[in-house]
Chain A
């Protein structure tokens, strides 16, 4: 750090290099693996990203299930797995080259550079495309900078996303321990596992918020592929991708551990490999050879394992596959067999949380209660369901009577400014000004041409909106963005060249506006950026981020747990994550109060040094009445810290 030129921001470059190198280690073999197929470059990049994420998550799930999720076994498993992928890529390519004969240059040598050069030329001629890609690049660098200088900072990150990450790193297992936060126990956790990957090797959260930044680029790449498959030229396809790249809620969530953009992004990836290519006859056998159904299944599995509403998205995807089979006039028996096989692959990829929930709660779909005519078949958690459904958010739209009106009006950004969890806005100006007219026009135009793909997708989108809780909130309906891109792509065949220029030019301007509106939001004001740029990494923590929310008690804990080997128990604490301290220094557990024994005894048995409890909770009263518990700190906030002497 001392050798760093003064103009360079104070970032842990060595740590960043480690994280990037390890991720590249898993990505590059998959890139070579998919390059041997006939997929286009853009599809190869996306397929490699999908497999890269499945590998990272899959290895953590496998090690986590046997309680061995430590840094070293994960590194060894990653080296072995990537080695096998690399070996397979080379072997399959050699076999393919020998089948073709020695006269033809192999794909390794070709690597389809010609395709890349053509793409570069076409894009280079379009000023709007260059502008959009330049804006994307600049925004990715900005998000990288923010993710490196700030700790996890958003409310839900403190509440449950980062506690999930910290608990997994602490317990070395993905089987959740007892917790006061129901999300920790009954929540699909694939997105969080990506942050575990970015944190476990360095044993700190410096780069936890970096884990989902690639999805900002990759979701747009998926939209680009959807547009290219619909027959759009590259420059128009880049404009379609801008719907994702410059969607404010996508940008805002990209450097957090929230998982809305992962769900919307995986949905776009699934569509990128599921929708037919208009420039060639779609043959099921050819698609299978290229691995498209497997890629769609992987994307489906990632949706299933990332968010509770992923289940609805998987059903929607299955309906889409049925619809596509019907369009291609496939035999029903074969179609149903293929869909059943596909669902099996989805379940294997993403169903691990359902298995754990079935074991723990007796209901794979927990916390969703399964009821038939009011009779409860499988138990659920109504409190958790209400908090997921967003009972509090409902009040914001109570004055808008119907779902279609709510959805439509929120597309115009009703709230004041953007923020990560904003219930009333998030799609930004590109969606209502470009995508909405495109959806209307494409629906009419495609109807005339008897091309019902957009209509089929809109019906599926309607089903998603009806079945997804609080779907009127833009961040819960990001699946729509891919459908908007398809509609816009379809229209490229009907607009005059001049109109395409105007629309693309307008999109360039609106993208700049989107970026400006997103950059200017409440989390990253200038004093905060200046302060955190100057801080050493070990002080980039919650109490520095927001001393208002993390006041005296949190500061006392931060100051008094530096010696290490400290176990903290909590009860009635909402924002738990800062209790872990920098570098996941403390052990943080939940000890459930028990009516039959003194709470102190349970805390002592669990090896707790400090109990952090809400003053108004029964556990606080129980400890106050127990002569063995001493008040270590009684702050002006709602919390009180007790010392639990070990025998």
Chain B
């Protein structure tokens, strides 16, 4: 997604901003991996599909 003209201004320290952004995205990726790869996740998500199908 490209930033538009109504975006918030970039922070005054671009180096720190890039570093913090990278760390945040890395942490999010790590936490997402843990969350989605937990052993019980299969049952967690297949419920949704069964529920959607049951409306037919």
Contact = CB atoms under 8 A, between A and B. Distances in A.
B24 A499 contact: yes
A432 B35 contact: yes
A322 interface: no
A462 interface: no
Contacts, number: 106
A505 B1 contact: yes
Instruction: Name the residue among A125, A236, A493, A496 with the largest chain B CB count within 10 angstroms.
Output: A496
A432 B34 contact: yes
A497 B38 contact: no
A81 interface: no
Interface string B32-56: 1011001010011101101110110
A497 B8 CA distance: 6
Nearest to B23: A441
Contacts of A84: none
A526 B52 CA distance: 9
Contacts of B32: 429, 433
B11 to A, nearest CB: 5
A629 B13 CA distance: 84
A104 to B, nearest CB: 31
Nearest to A437: B27
A416 B40 contact: yes
B30 to A, nearest CB: 8
A525 B50 CA distance: 10
Contacts of A415: 40
Contacts of B8: 233, 236, 492, 497, 500
Interface in A279-323: none
Contacts of B27: 436-437, 440-441
Instruction: Name the residue among B10, B35, B40, B45 with the largest chain A CB count within 10 angstroms.
Output: B35
Nearest to B4: A125
A508 to B, nearest CB: 11
A416 to B, nearest CB: 5
A516 B45 CA distance: 9
Given A432-B34, A500-B8, A495 B17 contact: yes
Nearest to B9: A497
Interface in A464-517: 491-503, 505-506, 516-517
A432 B24 CA distance: 13
A519 interface: yes
B31 A432 contact: yes
B11 A496 contact: yes
Given A440-B27, A445-B20, A496 B34 contact: no
Contacts of A413: 35, 38, 44
B54 A526 contact: yes
A434 B3 contact: no
Contacts of A501: 1, 3, 7
Interface of A: 122, 125, 233, 236, 412-417, 429, 432-434, 436-438, 440-441, 445, 491-503, 505-506, 516-517, 519-520, 525-527
30 contacts: A122-B6, A125-B6, A413-B38, A429-B32, A429-B35, A432-B31, A432-B35, A437-B24, A437-B27, A437-B28, A437-B30, A437-B31, A441-B24, A441-B27, A492-B8, A494-B20, A497-B8, A497-B9, A497-B10, A498-B1, A498-B3, A499-B21, A499-B24, A500-B7, A503-B25, A517-B47, A520-B48, A520-B51, A525-B54, A526-B55
